[in-house]
């Protein structure tokens, strides 16, 4: 936090009155207290944070915002003390719920320090072997990632795939982590698995490399909504040669074939959107083409593609007629 932000947050210093000498060290002491307050929040040292904030309030000339922070911190301290201390996943979930609670907006800019501490404690409560989602849309690997523990996030995501099977969210976490480490080839491999499986399970915050994120933003502008952009993204990237079909990954192809079979017979209840079925069938058809598989299977899949979306099918065949995408990356093993 810079000096101006600290002044905005904790109130301007009292100007010296007539006949008074200026106190050049006063801001320094306030800055020390401010840093102590924020660091205590991030460590979840609530006693230390309360003491530092109380001293800042005592020295300030604008008690209003600080009074709100003092009251909010007291409310948070009471809530935090009531958290369950038992089962790890339950406590991690409670900590994350606390971090995301809008009730702490009264802490102003200091709320981010408190949230960082809560997320780190949630990560500490979890095991790298955790495979169960904490919420329908939050896997333990994402908690490690949010806490800044990237190696732990990778291990947890890989363990989840090995234990449970294909998961588009975990693939997207791995894609992001590999891109962060400068391994864009591997990032695109995992991204291919994620997007051909279920783009609706991916996150904008995890989109990488940069050209992939840019493509999504362009599609978002064209489609006018997030869901449409996600459904368009795998086909757009494949046509550009930026999304590898995991042709040699027979287990992944078998997984998609199972999803296609269930969609065709309606055994999963509500049918997936036609374009989601299209990109899954495209991945299977390309897998057969690239590996020299059964020609009759490829013909059948292409017929299904035509029936699902004639316009996309025409673009698909035109892309192949021009030599096809150049991306030929294969899937790495998950250990």
The pLDDT tens digits along the chain (335 residues) read: 443 443 333 333 233 344 444 444 444 588 899 999 999 999 999 999 999 999 988 887 555 678 899 999 999 999 999 987 778 889 999 999 999 999 999 999 899 999 999 999 999 999 999 999 999 999 999 999 999 999 999 999 999 999 999 999 999 999 999 999 999 999 999 999 999 999 999 999 999 999 999 999 999 999 999 999 999 999 999 999 999 999 989 999 999 999 999 988 876 666 899 999 999 999 999 999 999 989 999 999 999 999 999 999 999 999 999 988 865 444 444 43
Report d(CA 333, CA 174) in Å as an integer: 13
Q: Which two tokens stand for residue 21?
A: 């000498």
- C-alpha 203 chain-centroid distance: 5
Q: How many CB atoms lie within 10 A of CB 63?
A: 12
Whether omega before 163 lies within 30 degrees of 0, making that bond cis, reads no
DSSP state of 62: -
Instruction: Report the Cα 311 to chain-centroid distance in Å.
Output: 32
Contact 128, 56 (CB under 8 A): no
Q: What angle do CA 318, 323, 328 make, to 5 degrees?
A: 115
Distance from C-alpha of 172 to C-alpha of 194, rounded to nearest angstrom: 6
**In Å, how far from its chain's centre is CA 305?**
31
From first CA to last CA, the distance across the chain in angstroms is 41
């Amino acid at each position: 936090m810079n000096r101006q932000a600290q002044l905005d947050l904790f109130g301007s210093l009292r100007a010296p009155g007539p006949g008074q000498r200026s106190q050049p060290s006063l801001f320094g002491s306030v800055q020390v207290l401010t840093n102590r307050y924020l660091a205590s929040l991030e460590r979840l040292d609530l006693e230390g944070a309360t003491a530092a904030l109380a001293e800042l309030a005592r020295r300030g000339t604008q008690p209003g915002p600080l009074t709100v922070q003092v009251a909010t911190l007291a409310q948070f301290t009471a809530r935090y003390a009531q958290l369950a201390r038992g089962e790890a996943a339950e406590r991690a979930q409670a900590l994350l719920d606390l971090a995301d609670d809008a009730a702490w907006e009264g802490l102003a800019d200091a709320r981010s320090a408190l949230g960082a501490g809560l997320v780190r404690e949630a990560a500490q409560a979890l095991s790298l072997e955790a495979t169960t989602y904490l919420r329908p849309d939050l896997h333990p690997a994402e908690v490690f990632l949010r806490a800044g523990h990237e190696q732990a996030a990778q291990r947890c995501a890989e363990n989840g795939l090995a234990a449970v099977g294909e998961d588009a969210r975990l693939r997207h976490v791995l894609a992001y982590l590999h891109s962060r480490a400068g391994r864009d080839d591997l990032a695109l491999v995992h991204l291919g698995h994620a997007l051909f499986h279920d783009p609706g399970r991916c996150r904008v915050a995890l989109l990488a490399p940069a050209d992939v994120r840019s493509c999504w933003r362009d599609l978002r502008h064209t489609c006018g909504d997030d869901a449409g952009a996600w459904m368009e993204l795998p086909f757009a990237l494949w046509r550009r040669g930026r999304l590898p079909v995991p042709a040699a990954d027979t287990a992944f192809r078998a997984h998609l074939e199972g999803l296609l079979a269930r969609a065709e017979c309606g055994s999963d209840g509500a049918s997936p959107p036609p374009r989601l079925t299209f990109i899954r069938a495209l991945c299977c058809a390309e897998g057969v083409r690239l590996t020299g598989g059964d020609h009759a299977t490829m013909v059948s899949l292409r017929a299904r593609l035509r029936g699902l979306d004639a316009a996309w099918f025409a673009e698909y065949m035109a892309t192949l007629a021009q030599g096809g995408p150049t991306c030929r990356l294969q899937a790495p093993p998950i250990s």
